[in-house]
């Protein structure tokens, strides 16, 4: 998927470009900056000195030296004051310049840390929203793999209120009896949620097209040939019809769905394609389908949305609140330890 959240040390990323949360001056700061310079070797600082001062909201590029990358892009981010001094605009400029430099240097992949939310004191939720907006806009116009690298067990939250609202929605709708029966009580909620999430990714048994199987009259049984002929349209056919009705280009849909062009092509060129559940839902979200239409579309790939899966309930929450940005939803899924949309 073009945008991916990974839990890793950014200095270990094998990508074309690694973004460094750099000092404005040619010196090494603590945190990510120090780690990148340490692994890249002293030549990185010498290259950085040749650049000189970097204006906040700007970025510059150097070779990556001993890192597993071609380039390091040094981003100078603003220091948070009170939000009234253009901090968000400057941070967005820094993200945009990093991505622009990656394009100009023919990069196919780029890894970002969480810019500005460390030493520069930017509120983490605000900084994350700026990043999401920059990535979303960029990926609508370009083909590139973007990684947001999270170190250790660092949390990602768009807002505390959103997390609380999603958690409340899950608590209100979750089928408690399922976990009670499977794990013996609410004390294992997290474990039960992960199990249910795995089960929810699997196609439902005994159906080729969930929700699409033709009905059979008891008084007039059909032959097998007649029964098969009544089969409804499959996932691919229905998807293409929905895209046509939406008036959007195929490229717009797969980019909004956080799906690669290659993956999308495999789906639309195979009338019997059975995408993963997370891919099917991502495409429904890209089309901004309501809950009923989403269930119908993913049902044609053999999936359903249930109240016994944390993953499903998070998806329901965003659909019911008419929030369809897949990257934002993936941030919420990540926060709840769920599989991300767009993954194969």
Query: Of these residues, 9, 16, 33, 312, which one is catalytic?
Result: 33
According to DSSP, the residues that pair with 3 across neighbouring strands are 146
Measure the CA–CA gap between 277 and 258, rounded to whole angstroms.
14
Q: In what order do the strands lie in the sheet with 69-76?
A: 3-7, 145-150, 109-112, 15-21, 69-76, 58-63
Residue 154 to residues 6, 148, 311, 335, Cα–Cα distance (Å):
11, 12, 20, 10
Contact call for residues 102 and 19 (beta carbons, < 8 A): no
33 among known catalytic residues: yes
Q: Which residue from 90, 306, 266, 170 is spatially nearest to 298, judged by alpha carbons?
A: 306
Q: How far apart are CA 183 and CA 67, in angstroms?
A: 45
Strands (E), the chain: 3-7, 15-21, 58-63, 69-76, 109-112, 145-150
Mind telling me the catalytic residues? 33
């Amino acid at each position: 998927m073009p945008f991916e959240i990974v839990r890793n040390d950014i200095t270990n990323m094998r990508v074309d470009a690694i973004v460094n949360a750099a000092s404005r001056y040619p010196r090494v700061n603590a945190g990510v900056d120090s780690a990148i310079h340490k692994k890249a070797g002293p030549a990185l600082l010498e290259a950085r000195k040749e650049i000189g001062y970097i204006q906040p909201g700007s970025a510059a590029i150097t070779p990556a030296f001993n890192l597993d990358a071609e380039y390091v892009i040094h981003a100078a981010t603003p220091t948070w004051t009170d939000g009234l001094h253009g901090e968000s605009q400057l941070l967005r400029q820094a993200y945009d310049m990093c991505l622009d430099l990656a394009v100009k240097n023919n990069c196919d992949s780029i890894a970002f840390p969480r810019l500005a939310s460390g030493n520069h004191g930017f509120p983490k939720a605000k900084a994350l929203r700026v990043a999401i907006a920059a990535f979303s806009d960029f990926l609508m116009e370009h083909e590139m793999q973007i990684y947001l690298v999270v170190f250790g067990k660092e949390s990602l939250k768009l807002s505390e209120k959103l997390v609380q609202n999603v958690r409340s929605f899950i608590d209100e709708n979750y089928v408690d009896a399922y976990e009670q029966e499977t794990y013996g009580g609410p004390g294992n909620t997290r474990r039960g949620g992960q199990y249910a999430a795995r089960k929810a990714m699997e196609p439902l048994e005994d159906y080729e097209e969930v929700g699409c199987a033709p009905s059979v009259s008891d008084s007039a049984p059909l032959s097998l040939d007649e029964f098969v002929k009544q089969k409804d349209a499959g996932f691919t056919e229905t998807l293409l019809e929905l895209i046509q009705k939406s008036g959007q280009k195929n490229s717009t849909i797969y980019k909004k769905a956080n799906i690669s062009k290659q993956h999308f092509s495999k789906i639309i060129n195979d009338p019997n394609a059975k995408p993963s559940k997370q891919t099917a839902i991502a495409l429904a979200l890209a089309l901004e389908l309501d809950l009923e239409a989403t269930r119908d579309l993913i049902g044609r790939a053999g999936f359903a949305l249930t109240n016994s899966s944390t993953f499903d309930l998070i998806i329901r929450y965003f659909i019911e609140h008419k929030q369809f940005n897949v990257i934002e939803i993936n941030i919420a899924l990540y926060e709840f330890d769920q599989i991300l949309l767009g993954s194969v």
